[in-house]
Chain A
Amino acid sequence: MERSEIISTTKKFLSEEFEVAIDSIQDDKNLRETLDLDSLDYVDLVVLIEENLGFKPTADDFKSVETFGDFYDLVEGKLKMA
Chain B
Amino acid sequence: MNIMLIDQAKIKTIIPQREPFIMIDGLLNADNSGFNSTFKIVDTNCMLDGTSASEGALVENIAQTCAAGFGYLSSLEGQTEPRLGFIGAVTKLEVFGEAHVNDQLDTRVEILNTFENIHLIEGTVRCNETELLKCQMKIVLA
Question: Which residues in A have some Cβ–Cβ distance to B below 8 Å?
Answer: 39-40, 42-44, 46-47, 50, 59
A42-B118, A43-B118, A43-B119 are known contacts; what are 14 more A-B pairs with Cβ within 8 Å?
A: A39-B118, A40-B88, A40-B89, A40-B118, A40-B138, A40-B140, A42-B115, A42-B116, A43-B115, A47-B112, A47-B113, A47-B120, A50-B113, A59-B115
Residues in A whose Cβ lies below 8 Å from that of B115? 42-43, 46, 59
Is B130's CB within 8 Å of the partner chain A? no
Which residue numbers of B lie inside 8 Å of A, CB to CB? Answer: 88-89, 112-116, 118-120, 138, 140
Q: Which of A44, A50, A59 is the one whose CB lies under 8 Å from B116?
A: A59
For the complex, would chain B's binding face be called helix, strand, loop or mixed by DSSP majority?
Answer: strand
Chain A nearest CB, measured from B58 CB (Å): 22
| Closest 10 pairs (CB-CB, A-B) | A43-B115, A40-B88, A43-B118, A46-B115, A43-B120, A59-B116, A47-B113, A42-B115, A40-B138, A46-B113
Closest to B119 in A: A43
Complex Cα gap A40–B89 (Å): 8
Complex CA distance for A50 and B115, rounded to whole angstroms: 12
Please indicate the chain A residues that have their CB under 8 angstroms from the CB of B88 in the complex.
40
**Smallest CB–CB gap between A11 and chain B, Å?**
22
**Listed A/B pairs (12) with beta-carbon separation below 8 Å:** A40-B88, A40-B89, A40-B138, A42-B115, A42-B116, A42-B118, A43-B138, A46-B115, A47-B112, A47-B113, A47-B120, A50-B113
